[in-house]
Amino acid sequence: MELSGSVAIITGAGGAIGSATARLFAREGATVVLADVRKDEIQEVARQIGEGGGKAAAFMLDVSDEKDVVGLVRSTVDSFGTLDIVVNNAAISMTTPILDIEVSDWDRVLAVNLRGVFLLSREAFRFMKTRRKGKIINMASASAKIGGLVVGAHYAASKAGVICFTKSLALQAAPDGINVNAVCPGPTKTPMTDAWGEKANQEFAAKIPFKRYGEPEEIAEAILFLASDRSRYMTGEILDVNGGLIMD
Ligand SMILES: NC(=O)c1ccc[n+]([C@@H]2O[C@H](COP(=O)([O-])OP(=O)(O)OC[C@H]3O[C@@H](n4cnc5c(N)ncnc54)[C@H](O)[C@@H]3O)[C@@H](O)[C@H]2O)c1
């Protein structure tokens, strides 16, 4: 098993990609702390993982809230003795055109998608530094590279921020033996893209060399690779998983 004995926090674990990642990590031997603002969803995922013989705990929080995030790391270390892996996956997406974006929506998207990544990365880094090891994986998006047309500009800009933050943290955490990387998915079959509507999804899929969206499990495989020892010499990498949509 790739993650035997590891303790991992996965934010947004009640969602499509987060829950697929939690299940995969648990199958690979990790104890997974499922963190999400939606309590029922993470309790259900934790229950299913437990039934399958895995180890999971649910922790309800808002990733944009500093106290919640500090509490998440403290509770994880108190309960399970360590913290080896963090997957900053929670995010909100809006499709509003720029002329209709309210300042409050702009601020909320940036708070969840970018401040949330900063807060948990900072707290994880603080702990991992004492152990001189750890893996931090952030979720970016293809929209960070090509701009947001279907998704909103606030979402795309937040994800571009995630890419730059990932590289900055990778530089500062490398001397402490901590790997920091991002996964950059293209459109993936989830409620987030279901909300775009069938017509937009068909048109977008036609532009992808593989002519289909990714599955949440296919994104989870890339996250597992970055969480495992197989990627030990990688840091600051932005790993595209997009069926060939962007090749850079
Ligand atoms: N679905 C796609 O096509 C796609 C493409 C590129 C990148 N991504 C990224 O992948 C990640 C997962 O996306 P998904 O499609 O599984 O989305 P999803 O909506 O299914 O899951 C997101 C989860 O984050 C949680 N969340 C939202 N706000 C939160 C907060 N303030 N605090 C804690 N949890 C919060 C939600 O409750 C939800 O469970 C996101 O970072 C997303 O931006 C998705």
Mean pLDDT of 175-198: 96
Any ligand 1 atom below 6 A from CB of 87: no
Tell which one of 10, 11, 37 to mutate to probe ligand 1, the residue whose CB is within 8 A of the most ligand atoms: 37
Mean pLDDT of 28-40: 98
CA of 11 to the centre of ligand 1 (A): 9
Q: Sign (positive/negative) of CA torsion 165, 123, 231, 146? A: negative
Confirm whether 247 is domain-assigned.
Answer: no
Confirm whether 246 is domain-assigned.
Answer: no
Residue type, 153: A
Any ligand 1 atom below 6 A from CB of 152: no
Residue 213 known to be catalytic? no
- Position 212 scores a pLDDT of 98
SS3 163: helix
Confirm whether 196 is domain-assigned.
Answer: yes
Confirm whether 118 is domain-assigned.
Answer: yes
Confirm whether 241 is domain-assigned.
Answer: no
- Could you give the C-alpha distances from 127 to 65, 136, 154, 178, in angstroms and in order? 18, 12, 31, 11
The pTM (predicted TM-score) of the whole model is 0.98
Any ligand 1 atom below 6 A from CB of 92: yes
Domain count within the chain:
1
Tell which one of 190, 212, 246 to mutate to probe ligand 1, the residue whose CB is within 8 A of the most ligand atoms: 190
pLDDT at 188 over 90: yes
The Cα 134–Cα 157 span in angstroms is 27
Q: 39-74 pLDDT, tens per residue?
A: 999 999 999 999 999 999 999 999 999 999 999 999
CA of 175 to the centre of ligand 1 (A): 31
Confidence label for 149 from pLDDT (cuts 50, 70 and 90): confident
The Cα 117–Cα 166 span in angstroms is 9
Confidence label for 150 from pLDDT (cuts 50, 70 and 90): confident
Confirm whether 243 is domain-assigned.
Answer: no
Any ligand 1 atom below 6 A from CB of 31: no
Confirm whether 54 is domain-assigned.
Answer: yes
CATH code for the domain of 93: 3.40.50.720
What range does the domain containing 41 cover?
7-236
Q: What angle do CA 22, 225, 11 make, to 5 degrees?
A: 35
Atom of ligand 1 nearest to the CA of 38: 37
